[in-house]
Amino acid sequence: MTTRIQKANRKRILDAALDVFSAHGFRGATLDQIAEAAGLSKPNLLYYFDSKEAMHRALLSRLLDTWLDPLRMLDPDGDPQSELIAYMRRKLALSRDFPRESRLFANEILQGAPRIEDFIRSDLRDLVDEKAILLRHWASAGRIAQVDPYHLIFSIWALTQHYADFSAQIAMIRGDGGDPLDGADAFLVQLYTRLLTP
């Protein structure tokens, strides 16, 4: 049975690993960096996770359901524009609330997705295909504009996750020390409302 201390240490290690992986990517991260960030010795770290790969897999598996949930929530019986705007807002909220996780995912994709290729080719692809059918149905019924459903989904990913993955760039360009997401919601609602209106 896992004790309270063991659960706390696992969480501490995964939080530290998330910091290190999101900053340095899988290849750039080391066990020494993760142990230091967790405030634990390397042997103590290896007691809980036998390798860097094991920590990375644990973080990705925890993340993937979170990443899919906003798209799963598109309601076929809802108002199409409202559903898509709500989806965009859920993705924007993930960028605000889980920037390290977004960078972890981005780093994995930039490396060719070696650890989540099966997930992308199965679960994610199946979900996107399912939602593309729904978007085509809405467009053919005249409820949204005729848009390529895949590129619509890709654009929502790109425009929302940019705020997590490139927050340093946004902060430097804006230079005001404010929240990089200030004004993003209003802008994206305007953009997608215009794009989706038949």
pLDDT at position 34 is 96
CATH of 1-50 given 3.10.270.10, 3.40.309.10, 2.40.50.180, 1.10.10.60: 1.10.10.60
Residue 119 pLDDT: 92
Mean pLDDT for each consecutive 10-residue tract of the chain (198 residues)?
85 95 92 96 93 93 88 97 98 95 92 92 96 98 98 98 94 88 96 97
**What local confidence, expressed as pLDDT, does residue 134 receive?**
98
The number of C-alpha atoms within 13 Å of 100 and in the hemisphere containing its C-beta is: 14
**What totals of helices (H) and strands (E) does the chain contain, helices first?**
11, 0
**CA dihedral over 128, 134, 137, 138, signed as positive or negative:** negative
Q: Which pLDDT value is given to residue 79? A: 98
> Coil, strand, or helix at residue 143?
coil
How many other C-beta atoms lie within 10 A of the C-beta of residue 98?
Answer: 18
| DSSP letter, residue 106 | H
Model confidence pTM above 0.85: yes
What local confidence, expressed as pLDDT, does residue 64 receive? 87
- Contact between 70 and 88 under an 8 Å Cβ cutoff? The reply is no
The CATH architecture assigned to 62-196 reads: Orthogonal Bundle (1.10)
